[in-house]
Amino acid sequence: MSAAEPDAAGPLESPAYPPLVRILAVVLVVDLLAFGLWSLPALRSAEWSTPSLLLFGGAALCIVWVGYWIVYSRTRLEGDVLTQTWIWNRRADAAKVTQLKLVHWRWLDRIVAPRLLVRQGPAVTWFHSADARLLTGFAERVAERITLDRGPASAQRPG
């Protein structure tokens, strides 16, 4: 059973990014921290102004923060609601979706996470999932909603 398969018709859930992307994020953050420690003697001998120290510290904090969320971000489909944990949580309701676009290059799955562009009115949100089936499951629920909203009369072709 994969990470995105439901257990007894429960919610679908998977990491937001593929394992290789998460491993690369950890390696890059650890390498940057190690390089910072290695450079510490040279950094200490330099003259720093307060704004430059704040910028340097803020950049380091941002790198660690984004790396953390790449590793721990999850995408979940429960009922008609798609959510993704991230620096800020993303949420889409199938009933409010006006446009979808799936971006998925199967041959690049290991390094490029499948993503779904979801438009809800004027708002546009990207959802990432290591398992494209989770995103296509949400797209299918949106299509079912549109079919139900149109009713059986509009589903038939005239003439």
Nearest residue to 98 via CA among 83, 112, 118: 118
Q: What is the pLDDT of residue 151?
A: 64
| Span of 18-32, 53-67, 80-94, 105-119 with lowest mean pLDDT | 105-119
Exposure pattern of 16-30 as b/e (b: 16+ CB <10 Å)? bbbeebbeebeeebe
Integer Cα distance of 56 and 37 in angstroms: 14
Identity of the amino acid at 107: W
The pTM of the full predicted model, rounded to 2 decimals, is 0.76
Each residue's pLDDT tens digit, 13-46 = 999 999 999 999 999 999 999 998 999 898 888 8
Mean pLDDT of 104-111: 84
